[in-house]
Amino acid sequence: MYSLLKNGSWRELLRDELPALFGAGFVAEVFFKWHSFTLECLGFLGVWFALGWALSAVRQARTAR
């Protein structure tokens, strides 16, 4: 989600966001039992954004070395 907002190419988008998407789906499925679709959807999107940002920061730190 983070790279979606940054407007990357398709290859970068899949490389960057697929792990974050699957990670957010796992977290939402296992931990979010709020009995409200809206809250769970917002939680999923928030986790997806945070994981995307974290993975992007790790990639940038690796390439900066």
What is the residue range of 46's domain?
Answer: 2-64
**pLDDT confidence of residue 64:** 87
Spatial neighbors of 26 by CB under 8 A, at least 6 apart, are none
**Which pTM does this prediction carry?**
0.80
Domain count, the chain: 1
Which tens digits make up the pLDDT trace of 30-48?
Answer: 999 999 999 999 999 999 9
